[in-house]
């Protein structure tokens, strides 16, 4: 498990989350810890490590 800091695409607040990068590429929904909006996380494993991107679930 790795800890990442992300910025909520709804409220703009930064928060940390734990990501399991041992399972390979993933896409999942997690609620913002500040505003409770559903954020879509996309985890991509590259040769340089893990890349975490977030976007609004309603996009």
Cα 23 from Cα 37, distance rounded (Å): 25
The domain spans of the chain are: 2-56
**Residue range 2-55, pLDDT digits in tens:** 899 999 999 999 999 998 888 889 999 999 999 999 999 999 998 888 899 999
Element (H, E) at 26: strand 26-31
**Quick check: 31 and 57 in contact, CB under 8 A?**
no
pLDDT value at residue 38: 96
pLDDT value at residue 32: 95
């Amino acid at each position: 498990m790795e800890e990442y800091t992300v910025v909520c695409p709804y409220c703009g607040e930064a928060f940390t989350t734990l990501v399991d990068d041992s399972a390979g590429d993933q896409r999942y929904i997690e609620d913002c810890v500040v505003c409770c909006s559903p954020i879509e996380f996309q985890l991509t494993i590259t040769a340089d490590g893990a890349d975490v991107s977030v976007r609004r679930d309603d996009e």
